[in-house]
Amino acid sequence: MEDIRACVIGLGNMGRNHARVLSDLPGVSLVGVADPSEQSRRAFHLPEGVRIFEDYRGMLDVLHPDYAVVAAPTDLHCRIACDVLSRKIHVLVEKPIAKRVDEAERMIRAAAESRVLLMVGQVERFNPAVQEIRRLIGDRALGDVFQIHARRLSPFQARDIGVILDLATHDIDVMHFVTGSRVVRAYAETARKAHRSCEDMLSGLLRFGNGVVGVLDVNWLSPKKLRELWVVGEGGMLVADYLTQEVSWFKNGRVNDTWTPATNFSGAVEGDVTRTYIAKKEPLRAEHEAFVGALTSGASSPVSGQDALAAVRVALDLIKSGEDHTTVCAVKTA
At 275 the pLDDT is 86
Kindly report which listed range (7-16, 65-74, 140-149, 323-332) carries the lowest average pLDDT score.
Answer: 323-332
The pTM is what? 0.91
The whole-number pLDDT of residue 84 equals: 98
User: How far is CA 207 from its chain centroid?
Assistant: 19
Residue 262 has pLDDT above 50, yes or no: no
Tell whether the model's pLDDT for residue 304 goes beyond 90: yes
pLDDT attached to residue 332: 58
**What amino acid occupies position 315?**
A
pLDDT of residue 267: 60
Handedness of CA 171, 175, 181, 184 (dihedral sign): negative
Instruction: For the chain, give the mean pLDDT.
Output: 92
Summarize the confidence of residues 248-265 as an average pLDDT: 65
| pLDDT surpasses 70 at 232 | yes
pLDDT at 157: 82
Average pLDDT in the 261-289 region? 78
Q: pLDDT tens-digit profile of 151-195?
A: 999 998 888 899 999 999 999 999 999 999 999 999 999 999 988
Is it the case that residue 60 has pLDDT exceeding 60? yes
Considering the chain, what percentage of its residues have pLDDT values greater than 90? Answer: 83
Q: What is the average pLDDT across 241-249?
A: 96
Using an 8 Å Cβ cutoff, are 291 and 93 in contact? no
pLDDT at 1 over 70: no
**What does the pLDDT read at residue 328?**
56
| CA atoms of 96 and 161, how far apart (whole Å) | 10
Mean pLDDT along residues 106-117: 98
Indicate if the pLDDT at residue 334 is higher than 50.
no
Give me the pLDDT at residue 259, please.
Answer: 45
